[in-house]
Every structure is written in structure tokens, then in C-alpha cells.
Amino acid sequence: MRATFSERLVDLAVNIFLWGFRILIVAIIIIGTFFTIREGKYTSEQWIDFIVFGISQGSIYAMIALGYTMVYGILRMINFAHGDIFMTGAFGAYFTATWLTKAGFVDANPFLGLLIPILVAMAVSTLIAVLVERIAYRPLRGAPQLVPLISAIGASFFLEYAFRGFFGPGKYAYPPIKALEGTWEIFGIGILKVQVVVAISAFIMMALLYFVVMYTKIGKAMRAVSENKDTAALMGIDVNRIIVTTFAIGAALAGAAGVLFALVYRQVDFFMGFTPGVKAFTAAVLGGIGNIPGAMVGGLVLGVFESVGPSLFLEGLGITRAYQLKDAIAYTMLVMILLFRPQGILGERLSKQKA
Amino acid sequence: MAAILTAKNVTKRFGGLVAVNNVDFEIPEKSIVSIIGPNGAGKTTFFNCITGYAKADEGKIVFDGTPIQSQRPDQISRLGISRTYQNIRLFADMTALENILVGQHIFLNSSWISAVLGTSYVRNEEKMALAEAQRLLNFVDLKGKGDLLARNLPYGAQRRLEIARALATKPKLLLLDEPSAGMNPRESEDLTAFIRHLRDELGITILLIEHHMRVVMGISEHITVLDYGQKIAEGTPKEIQNNKQVIEAYLGRGAATEGMDTAHERFSKKVK
Amino acid sequence: MKKENFLLSATKTGLVGGAIAIFLCLIGMVEIFNKRDVIQGIVTLGQFVWLATAVGAGYTASQQTSHLLNGKKPAQNLTAGALAGFFSAALTAFLVWLGSQTDLRAIFINASPALYELLTFGKGLAGLPQLLIIGIISGIVGATFTLLPKAVQRPLLHALMMLIFMALFSGIFRVVMINQGNKWETLAKSIFSQTGLTQLGGWIFILGTIAISVFWSNRGEAVKASMARMPSKGKLSLRILVFLIIAVIALGLPQVSGPFIAQVIVIISLYILMGLGLNITLGFAGLLDLGFVAFFAVGAYTVGLLTSYGPFGLQHISFWVAVPIAVLVSMAFGAFLGLPVLGVRGDYLAIATLGFGEIIRLLAGSDFLAGYFGGPQGVIGIQKPCLGVLEPFIKLDTPRICDGIEIGQGAADHFLAGPGGIYYLAIISALLIAFVAWRLRESRLGRAWMAIREDEDVAEALGVNLIQTKLLAYILGAAFAGLGGAIFSVLIGSIFASSMQLLVSINVVALLVVGGMGSIPGVIVGAIALIGLPELLREVSEFRYLIYGTVLIVMMLAKPEGLWPSQATKRELHHETSAQGGD
């Protein structure tokens, strides 16, 4: 037929481009790191600060990522509204915490003052996620992949702007817990209490989830459904109930993550779910989507990279105010991982149909 | 007769599973050849290796003098290999005519810029493509159905449309993956005649995967039997019907001890 | 299976209706819509929205009752409707009561005294019985509607839709008509009030629509048949006539309507350009790109940097030279972003492109690259294009002469300076690109795109080169969006990274979904419905994204093929009806 010269040219261009892209990123990382360390702009204490912040941030991403990963594992669907489920939890907690703080309850009982808003947030998020699943996703099961994705984008917008309608476009200041202000000395380094508490709470909840998924009856049913819905149904598992449960558990974690996020950043607004949502999705992909330990690892890796990255990789290259590009680092990781290792760090290679 | 396609030592693995194991294979030009074998024997994987959808891990496939084992599917189709699918894969939301027009893709030369400008070259080419598509529709007995969406055609018509689409690429070698699946005896007979017609009139070499023994035995000049990815027999239909290993593969190891005669009877029944 | 008691079912329906009513109250819709009248002195839009929930509950409850009882039984149907209406109103009443007991406003900012006053007719809690009675009546009205024969239902529904449409757009019609002179002014004032329709206007539209609707349902088939019988020459000339009428309206519109509507149409046109671009990647080739705004940004920034007199302008070249450059740069970016993601499929692709789009926005808005793109301050001082062909083509000097007028003094006077002028630029570009998109669709390339959308493995086996074909989808889609961006930059006169949000990409996806993916007229319909309406209606624009979200979900649930499905689907439907007719 026609000469395939132009095709070969395109093929070559694709390969050169992809390799160039990889080399560029690696070069930025290496050269940036080299110059940053040579300049010695930051002390090792500051680096540890960055890493601790990264871990606490990353554990929040990991909690949200679990919701993405579990739903994807079962339905092969990106629940685009998951970030907004996280936001609804934060709002639920905000009003509870404000009320408790005004009543003086939080100062007297800091532990319960933290726990109660978390429980409320989990309840609110779960309720809303179950409603969203029932209304916007369940009728679309079995439709082509893009249909539920677009419906999920719709649900995301609906939640964001419904909450904007309810509570207005402004930012609400999340009430601080006095007992969590200041720092703790750990190994001679002052670390913000909030970050320690956030990381510990996140780890406790993720351990709980892991236990539920691996060792309880419902967890086994969830894994069975994610392997094969039809076979699971034949084994007497109520697939719909398991799917709702999956949404509910993911949402409960996201709601709790919303509270932790609000504790760190001290503010709550209707759009707060978008960026952490995309980043948590990145974390889920990073760890291998559908893979529960993967989501936890992915979250931590992303959190640390994002926190250390601007200073370590970019400032050495002479980029001023590199922290503005923090999000760009996360998105670059997302794109890179989708391009070069879509199965993630811990994931198995998905077969062609699944990917 | 010269071979139009030669496969040597073709091996394809999926992880630990060896789907196609060291298969040698030859298709003489203008012949009708079948591959048979129990489910999961690696027949479709072998098809995929020929059409480039799966890359063979080892071995060489030569088509018409060109090695194709490392070519992409679109390049292979340009060389003159076309196929149909086991479970019909039409472009469901396109019309029957558009399906065939996509099959003519490789013969159309107009660039998108000339298409936007609507040059007379493009208009002529489109007119000719349309005429050819209509001709193919008539050829497979779908006259007047050109404007129907492929998804709304009845099952038999979908099978025929898929063949018409494959023919639109003007193949030298046509691969048919279980073309008679879901057909009644009458329809299978028509299909057999149709396949013969393709070879006799159009000179297309045909490679079949088929479960329907009646069709296979009636039409093939040469049969290759695969089992667990390995070639266990090849020969004329007569030879295959009497091959001990083939009978074992189809009817289980027990058949051989049970006495060849009864086993042969059962196999023959299955064939008829 | 035992069937549910119809009263229980009606109660549930009523509670759902009530929940929706509370939702609409708390997001502020009822209160904001209350500022607009449907018919002056009779019903406001806010009241109408609230009533609609109760009527809807009654309607649904009555439908369910018919279903549960295997047929229409007027007494039961009306009871169910009344019950549903009652519970629907009861929830609102509960909200009002709760608001009187506690300060709901500490949580819900829209739970304002004005809302309570509206819901209780200014009587405080004493107004609640009245609210409940109205709820019951609304429920009965909804139920009654289901009992009417189709021939009565349809004209009533049409009249209602017409009424809402006219009420929403009354302000615009009124202004346009008043601009036309004295005679029109009196007419306008008798039909349209400041905030909606007058009572006279309301009756005119109700009765007029009913009359037309009844006429059409009786005679419509005959009219259609006579149209079909028309010789093909007659059909062609009819089509040309319709086209000419539309063209004349389009060309004359800014003169009649004034700059505001012209500006809205420019924005619609820009979204049509972007929509046509995404229609190629998503609608034709099936590649969901959530970072599409990046190409729009590239087009806008290219023209901005090449023509701006602000601090970041690189060159001061003519707009007409800058536009092709911008389109080429966008295409290069399409290839640049398209190349790496070619191997990524399905929803992974959506997220990867979202990532790319965000990276571009973050880089453009960062201080790091502020020296080139202005960072958060953006690129300003972009000149309006001049029409004059004599305009020096390559490099312009300051101060320059544009169409005989020196820029900076009488700048607004030259033709392409105001929205009225850009209007022609935008609308002609949109028409041109629609034509290009149509030609592409009907070409070899268009068929290859659709084949990829349907089944890329099979397409490849038929000789379609996936890499080239997908890449072309990205490049051409990017070209259209880049052209949109180029026009946007001269329309606004400045570009900010913050206007290149993901929201824009979502808008474009939404308009494609609503119009019908892969359908070129669908893009136009979608852009008018999703972009034009919120721009025109300030009350609606408040809830724009909420409505988008709802629309996306509802469309996916009810009508995934869109309002104006692509030709193939329509041809198919046509074929089926004619086949049935032939039998």
C-alpha cells in the first residue's frame, strides 16, 4: 500500500518523546537534588520537618485513596465524587466541633472533642455516599465506561454546589483543639502535635479497615465480589449490598480524613475536596489501583514527595517560590505513573481489557 | 503449491501458561485450511499471533514473502490478511455501510486537508468507495440494509456484514473464527458454499477455526489439530478422522483404552 | 410479590418531594427565584418552584397508584395525590417551625427570615395551615393531571413550558422590544412587567400555546405529510429559505439586541469552538480529555503574547497573523500532550489529561514562569483586531492606526473593538469550524475515528493506524480550541491563568453530553442550553454548576445519547419508523 515512512517517523517520534520525557524528569530530580544539597539551604531538622509533614499529609491521602481503590476494585469505576464525599465529612465535623467548642466540651475532653466530630463526619459522608451510589451510579451498572464516569463528575459538581448553596462560598475556620497546639520533642526534634495525631489516627483507622477486609465475613465477600461479581452472586453473596458497603466504608474513611485535613489546614470550604481528591486518586494509582496496601503506600509516597519535592528538586534549579508548584509535582507523578507503570508500585499488570 | 503463510516454531506464553507451543504451520495458496481443537487449545491465540494482535514470543511467521511476526495489526492488514471474530465485533453504533467503508480505509488516499476542502479527488474517491461498499453489501445479501446501525441487524446478517467488512480490505488470506457459531444446519450449508465461492471465484486463501465438524470436514482441504497449544496432528479430513491422538484429545484419555472402535464411532457421530 | 399499599407509597413519594422542596429552600433557590414573577401578582418563580415539588409529588404518587392498583381509579388517585402533596408541604412546614424554634441560620445561610416570610405568606407560624392546604391542592392538581387524556395533557404541558420560558426571558425580550421604538415599547410594557409577565401577557402565552398545540396535534401529521410529499427541489429551496432567515437574524442580531446579548453569543460561540474540538477527540474518537482547557489556554496565551502592548507582549503583530500562529502552536501542543497518552485507555486517559491540564495551568500561573506569562497577574493590554486589510502585516508600531482611528483615543469606535464586532468574528469562526468538523466527520479520517471509538482492536486489524489517527484527533481538537482561545483573548483583552480552570473543561464535556456526543448540531444546542442560558439569566447563573451536575446525572440516567443525537442514530430512528410505516 502506501509508503509507511511517515508512520515510522511518527513511531520514532513517540519513542523519542517518551524517553525524552523520562530522562527530563529524572534529570530534573537528580540535578535539582544535587544543587539543593550542595547549597545546603536547609538543615537536616528542616528536612525531617518536611518528611513528617509529608507523612501526615500522605496518611490523609491514603485514607481517601482507599475509597477510590476499593470502589475501583469492585466496579472498575473512578468515583469522581469521592473527593467531595471527603468535603461533606469535613463540614459535618466543622459544625459539630464548633458547637462542642462553644460549649467548652473540647477543652475539657480533648480526646472526645476529636473523636465525636470524626464520628459525625463518618456518618455524614457515609449517608451521602450511599445516596449518591443509589441515585447516580447503581442504575448505570453495566453501561459503557464513560457513562458512569460522567455521572460521577455530575455528582461531584452537584455535591460541591449544593454545599455552596447551603453554607455559602466562604471559608469556615475549623476550631483548634488547644491540647493539640505546639510541638512534641521526639528524638530531640520538635514536631507539631497535630501532625503526629493526624498520622496516628490515620494509621489506626487504616489498620482497622485492613482487618475488616482481610478477616471478617463482609471483607471476604468484598474480595469475592471484586474478583468476579457473577460468581460471587452464585455463591449467595448479595452483590448490591456488598457494593453499598464498599461505598460506605470508603466514605467513612474519607469523612474521617476530612476532619484530619481540617485539623491541619484549619479551614473548610465547599471546594476543598477537589485537589485532595485528585491527589488521593494519584495515590491510589501510584500504589496500584484496586490494591488496598498499595493505596496506603501510594498515599505516603505521594505525601512525602509532594512535601519534600519543591525544596529538594526544584529550588536547586533556581525556581523561586517552588512551593507553588507542589500540586504540579503531584500531577506530574500522576501522569508519569499512568504512562509508564499503570499497574502501580504494588499492583499486578492489569490485562488489556481491564486497563 | 507455494505456501502463502508459513509459521515456524511459534510460541506464545501468558505468564506461566503456554497458549501456543512451538507450532509449525503452512497454508498453501488458494486453499481452505482449518484449525480445530478442544476449547482452550490455543486456536484463537494463534489467530491473534498471525494478525499481530498478540506478539509471538518465539518463532517466525512469513506471509507472502514478508516476515510479519513483529508487525502491528494495521501493517499486517495492509499486506493482505483480514479476519472475523468469534463473538462478532462490528462497530455497533455505525451503519452497515460505514462498517464496510472502514474496511476500505487502507485503499483511500485522501488526506484530511483535502477532505475538508472537498477536492474533486476526494469526491471521486468517496463515490467509488461508496459504490464498492454497496457492491459488497449486495454480495453478502444485505442489499438495502446499508443505513441500518450494525447493532440492529439480525445475528446472521451481522455475521455476513463482518465478512463483507473483512473482504473490503481485499485480503489474500481471510481468517474466519468460528463463522458457523450459532447457525442452524441449513445456514451452515449456505456458509460452506459461500466460503468455497470466496476461494474459487475470488481466489482468497481461507483459514478457519471451527467447532462444527460437519462444516470442517466438508470444506477443508487440510486440517491442523491443536491441543494444549501443541500441534498434535495435521492432514486431510480423512486422515484426521482416523487419527488416534485427535480422538484422545476430543474424547479424553479413557477413549483409547476403551477400545478404538467405540471411540471412533462416537467421534464419527460427532462429525456427522 | 405483595404489592405495596398505595397510601404508604404516596406518603413516601410525598416525603421525597418534601425533601427536594427543603433542599431547594436551603440552597436559596426559592428565595432568589422569588424576585422574578412568572405572572405578575399571581405567582413568582420561587413560589412556582416550590409548588412544582408538591405538584410533582402528587403526579408521581398518582402514577404509582395507577400502577399498584392496575389502572386509574379517580378516588384513590386523588387521595394519593392529596396525601403526597400534604407530606411534601408538611416537611417545608416543619422546616419553618424548626427555624422559628432554633437559629438554623447558624448552619444554613439561606434559612433566612425572608424565606420563612415567603413560605408563611408573611403571617408567621399562623400561615402554616395555609401552606399545608396549598400543598394538598397542588398534590390533587398533580394527580388530576394524570387522569386527563393525552390530548388535554399535552397542550397544558406546552403552555406551562412556554410560560416559564417567557417569564425567564421576559427581561431580555422587554429590553430588546423597547429599543425598537415607541410602538414596540407600549406592546412590550403591556406583555412584560419589570420582573416577569403581566397578567395579560400570561394569558396571551397560555392561550396562544394551547391553540398552537391543539392545532398541531390535530393537523401536524398532515402538515408533515405534505412537507414530505413536496418535490425535492421544493424541499431544497425551503431549506435554503430557512438558512437565509437564520443567517439574516444572526447578522442583524447585535444591531437589534444591543451589546449584552451579542457578548453572550460570542461566549456561546467560543464554547461552540471548544465543543467542536472536544467533539472530535471525545465524540468522534471516544477519547475523554478532561484537560481540554489547556489548548484553549495555549491559543489565548499565544495571541496574547504576540499582540499585547502590555509588559509581556513579545511582538506587536497583527491579530490576523497571530491567529494562524496560535492555531499552529495549539496543534503542536495537541501533539505534545497527545503523544504520551496515546497508549492510555478509557478512564485512565481522562485522569491523565486532567493532570496535564492542571500542570499547564499551575505553570502558567506560577511565579516561576511569571517573567514569560505574567504569573497570577496575567497578560494584559491585548489589542482588539482591526479589520483593515492595509494594516501593516508583520510588526505594528505604537501608537498605531486601526481602521483609520488611532488606538488609545477613539478605540471603541472601530468596528472590531466592541462585542458587536467580535460577534461577527466569533460567529463566522464557529460556522466555519462547524463546516470543517462536518467535512471531517464524513471523511475517511472521521470513519476511522468512529471505528476507534467503537472498537480500537478491530479498527487496527482493518488497517487503521491507531497512533496517527488518535494523534490527529488530538491535534485537530486542539486546533479548534486554540482558535477559541485566540478569540477569547481579544474579547477580554487580558488573560489570566485562573480563568483556565478545570471547570471550563467540565463545561465543555457537559455541553457535549447534553447535546449528544459526536453530533455537530448537538454541540450548538448544548452550548446554547448550558452556556447561553446561565449567562442570560442572573438568577439561574447562581445555580449554574448545581444544575450542570444534575443535568449530567439525569442525562446519563435517562438519555445518554443527548438532546440532539448524532446523525447515525437519527438515520436509524428514521429508518425504523419508515419501515414500520411500510408494513
Read off the pLDDT of residues A182-219 as tens digits, 9 standing for 90 and up: 777 777 677 777 777 878 888 888 888 888 888 888 88
Q: How far is A170 from chain C (nearest CA, A)?
A: 11
Q: How far is C73 from chain A (nearest CA, A)?
A: 30
Q: How far is residue A22's CA from residue A277's CA, in Å, rounded to a whole number?
A: 26
**Phi, psi (degrees; rounded to nearest 5) at C193:** -90, -175
pLDDT at position B36 is 86
With pLDDT > 90 as the criterion, what percentage of chain A qualifies?
5
Single out the residue of C267, B205, C368 nearest to residue A324, CA to CA.
C368
Single out the residue of A325, A332, A317 nearest to residue C370, CA to CA.
A325
Are the beta carbons of B106 and A1 separated by less than 8 Å? Answer: yes
- B252: how many CB neighbours lie within 10 A of its CB? 12
Residue with cell 419589570: C194
Q: How far is A78 from chain C (nearest CA, A)?
A: 7
Q: How far is residue A93's CA from residue C29's CA, in Å, rounded to a whole number?
A: 25
| Residue B22 backbone zone (phi > 0: left; psi -120 to 50: alpha; other: beta) | left
Whether the CB of A4 is below 8 Å from some CB of chain B: the reply is: yes
Out of B75, B107, B109, whose CB is closest to A4?
A: B75
pLDDT at position C215 is 82
For C433, nearest residue in chain B (alpha carbons): B116
Whether the CB of A159 is below 8 Å from some CB of chain C: the reply is: yes
For C440, nearest residue in chain B (alpha carbons): B116
Single out the residue of A324, A135, A152, B15 nearest to residue C549, CA to CA.
A152
pLDDT at position A351 is 38
**Phi, psi (degrees; rounded to nearest 5) at B230:** -110, 145
- B22 and B44 within one domain: yes
Beta bridge partners of B226: B231
For B80, nearest residue in chain A (alpha carbons): A1
Confidence of residue B9 (pLDDT cuts 50, 70, 90): confident
Single out the residue of C8, C141, C18 nearest to residue C65, CA to CA.
C8
Single out the residue of C440, C503, C499 nearest to residue C475, CA to CA.
C440
Q: Judging by DSSP bridges, how do beta strands B173-177 and B205-209 pair with one another?
A: parallel
Q: Given a cut of 90, is residue B113 above it in pLDDT?
A: no
- B192 and B65 within one domain: yes
Task: Enter the C-alpha cell of residue C180.
Answer: 425598537
pLDDT at position A129 is 92
In a domain, B190, yes or no: yes
The string over C195-224, giving b where at least 16 C-beta atoms fall within 10 Å of a residue's C-beta and e elsewhere, is ebbbeebbeebbeebbeebeeeeeeeeeee
pLDDT at position C410 is 38
pLDDT at position A308 is 80
Per-residue HEC secondary structure of C464-518 comes to CCHHHHHHHHHHHHHHHHHHHHHHHHHHHCCECHHHCCHHHHHHHHHHHHHHCCC
In a domain, C107, yes or no: yes
Nearest-Å Rg of the Cα atoms of chain C is: 27
Residue with cell 505546639: A182
Are the beta carbons of C206 and C163 closer than 8 angstroms? Answer: yes
For B163, nearest residue in chain C (alpha carbons): C462
Neighbouring chains of A at 3+ CB pairs under 8 Å are B, C
- B73 and B111 within one domain: no
Domain residue limits at C205: 154-244
Out of C442, C454, C460, whose CB is closest to B73?
A: C460
**pLDDT < 70: residue spans in chain C:** 1-3, 309-316, 370, 386-420, 561-583
Contacts of C468 in chain A (CB under 8 A): 6-7, 10
Q: What is the DSSP string of A245-282?
A: HHHHHHHHHHHHHHHHHHHHH-EE-TTTTHHHHHHHHH
Contacts of C451 in chain B (CB under 8 A): 91, 94, 102, 105
Confidence of residue A125 (pLDDT cuts 50, 70, 90): very high
Q: Judging by DSSP bridges, how do beta strands B173-177 and B58-63 pair with one another?
A: unpaired
- B145 and B28 within one domain: no
Contacts of A1 in chain B (CB under 8 A): 78, 106-107
In a domain, B201, yes or no: yes
pLDDT at position C572 is 45
Are the beta carbons of A125 and A254 closer than 8 angstroms? Answer: yes
Spatial strand order in the sheet of B81-83 = B81-83, B173-177, B205-209, B32-36, B222-227, B230-235
Contacts of C477 in chain B (CB under 8 A): none
pLDDT at position A348 is 53
What residue ranges do the domains of chain A occupy? 52-307
Read off the pLDDT of residues A243-288 as tens digits, 9 standing for 90 and up: 888 889 889 989 988 888 888 888 888 888 888 888 888 888 888 7
Are the beta carbons of C192 and C201 closer than 8 angstroms? Answer: yes
- C416 and C506 within one domain: yes
Q: Given a cut of 70, is residue A350 above it in pLDDT?
A: no
Would you state the torsion angle of the CA atoms of residues B226, B231, B236, B238, taken in this order, to the nearest 10 degrees? -70
Q: How far is B5 from chain A (nearest CA, A)?
A: 19
In a domain, C555, yes or no: no
pLDDT at position C330 is 92
A220 CB-side CA count, 13 A: 6
- Based on the structure, what is the number of domains in chain C? 3
Q: How far is A192 from chain C (nearest CA, A)?
A: 29
The string over C251-267, giving b where at least 16 C-beta atoms fall within 10 Å of a residue's C-beta and e elsewhere, is eebbeebbeebbbbbbb
| A140, B48, C551 from A150: Cα distances, Å | 11, 33, 11
For A76, nearest residue in chain C (alpha carbons): C347
Q: How far is residue C533's CA from residue C194's CA, in Å, rounded to a whole number?
A: 19
Are the beta carbons of B94 and C459 separated by less than 8 Å? Answer: no
In a domain, C282, yes or no: yes
Q: Give, in degrees to the nearest 5, the angle at Cα C380 between C374 and C381.
A: 145
- C423 and C295 within one domain: yes
pLDDT at position A2 is 43
Q: How far is A176 from chain B (nearest CA, A)?
A: 54
In a domain, B85, yes or no: no
pLDDT at position A4 is 55
In a domain, C580, yes or no: no
- C60 and C5 within one domain: yes
| Helix residue ranges, H only, A76-192 | 82-102, 105-108, 110-132, 146-167
Are the beta carbons of B106 and A4 separated by less than 8 Å? Answer: no
DSSP 8-state class, residue A351:
P
Per-residue HEC secondary structure of C52-72 comes to HHHHHHHHHHHHHHHHHCCCC
Residue with cell 473483512: B166
- C465 and C336 within one domain: yes
Domain residue limits at B121: 94-168
CATH number given to A52-307: 1.10.3470
In a domain, B252, yes or no: no
Are the beta carbons of A78 and C351 separated by less than 8 Å? Answer: yes
Q: How far is residue C379's CA from residue A82's CA, in Å, rounded to a whole number?
A: 35
- B229 and B101 within one domain: no
With pLDDT > 70 as the criterion, what percentage of chain B qualifies?
92
Q: How far is A351 from chain C (nearest CA, A)?
A: 12
Contacts of B118 in chain C (CB under 8 A): 439
Whether the CB of A216 is below 8 Å from some CB of chain B: the reply is: no
Out of B74, B102, B152, whose CB is closest to C447?
A: B102
Helix (H, G, I), strand (E, B) or coil at B12: strand
Chain A window 11-50: which residues touch C at a Cβ cutoff of 8 Å?
Answer: 11, 13-14, 17-18, 21
Task: Enter the C-alpha cell of residue B165.
Answer: 467488512
| Helix residue ranges, H only, chain B | 43-51, 73-79, 96-103, 112-117, 120-139, 155-167, 185-202, 213-219, 237-241, 244-251, 254-257, 260-271
Are the beta carbons of C448 and B102 separated by less than 8 Å? Answer: yes
Whether the CB of A2 is below 8 Å from some CB of chain B: the reply is: yes
Neighbouring chains of B at 3+ CB pairs under 8 Å are A, C
- C141 and C99 within one domain: yes
For C465, nearest residue in chain B (alpha carbons): B74
Q: What is the mean pLDDT of residues A19-23?
A: 82
The residues of B whose Cβ lies within 8 A of any Cβ of C are 51-53, 72-74, 77-78, 82-83, 85, 89, 91-95, 98, 101-103, 105-106, 108, 110, 112, 115-116, 118, 122, 126, 147-149, 152, 165, 168-169
pLDDT at position B181 is 82
Whether the CB of A342 is below 8 Å from some CB of chain C: the reply is: yes
Q: How far is residue C482's CA from residue C292's CA, in Å, rounded to a whole number?
A: 10
In a domain, C557, yes or no: no
Q: How far is B32 from chain C (nearest CA, A)?
A: 21
- A85: how many CB neighbours lie within 10 A of its CB? 31
Are the beta carbons of C545 and A139 separated by less than 8 Å? Answer: no
Q: How far is residue A227's CA from residue A220's CA, in Å, rounded to a whole number?
A: 11
pLDDT at position C582 is 35
In a domain, B251, yes or no: no
- C237 and C272 within one domain: no
Spatial strand order in the sheet of B17-28 = B17-28, B3-14, B58-63, B66-67
Contacts of A2 in chain B (CB under 8 A): 106, 109
- Based on the structure, what is the number of domains in chain B? 2
Q: What is the DSSP string of B143-211?
A: TT-TTSBGGGS-HHHHHHHHHHHHHTT--SEEEEESTTTT--HHHHHHHHHHHHHHHHHH--EEEEE--
For C464, nearest residue in chain A (alpha carbons): A7
Q: What is the mean pLDDT of residues B209-215?
A: 83
In a domain, B264, yes or no: no
For C576, nearest residue in chain B (alpha carbons): B148
Are the beta carbons of C462 and B169 separated by less than 8 Å? Answer: yes
Q: How far is residue C299's CA from residue C273's CA, in Å, rounded to a whole number?
A: 12
Q: How far is residue B42's CA from residue C10's CA, in Å, rounded to a whole number?
A: 59
In a domain, B256, yes or no: no
Read off the pLDDT of residues A298-330 as tens digits, 9 standing for 90 and up: 888 888 888 887 777 776 666 666 677 778 888
Contacts of B78 in chain A (CB under 8 A): 1
Q: Given a cut of 90, is residue B260 above it in pLDDT?
A: no
Select the more confidently predicted residue: B61 or A180.
B61
Q: What is the mean pLDDT of residues B222-231?
A: 85
Helix (H, G, I), strand (E, B) or coil at A211: helix
Nearest-Å Rg of the Cα atoms of chain A is: 22
Whether the CB of A331 is below 8 Å from some CB of chain C: the reply is: yes
Select the more confidently predicted residue: C417 or B93.
B93
Would you state the torsion angle of the CA atoms of residues C374, C375, C381, C383, taken in this order, to the nearest 10 degrees? 90
Single out the residue of B121, B106, B9 nearest to residue B56, CA to CA.
B9
Q: What is the DSSP string of C165-200?
A: HHHHHHHHHHHHHHHT-HHHHHHHHHHB-SSSB-HH
| Cα four-point dihedral sign C335, C341, C346, C349 | negative
Are the beta carbons of B57 and B12 closer than 8 angstroms? Answer: yes
Contacts of B163 in chain C (CB under 8 A): none
| Residue B14 backbone zone (phi > 0: left; psi -120 to 50: alpha; other: beta) | beta
Distance separating the N- and C-terminal Cα atoms of chain A: 33
pLDDT at position C190 is 81
- C459 and C394 within one domain: yes
Are the beta carbons of C344 and A339 separated by less than 8 Å? Answer: yes
CATH number for the domain harbouring residue B191: 3.40.50.300
Helix (H, G, I), strand (E, B) or coil at A196: helix
- Looking at C93, C128, C147, the residue that finishes a domain is C147
pTM tops 0.80, yes or no: yes
Helix (H, G, I), strand (E, B) or coil at A294: helix
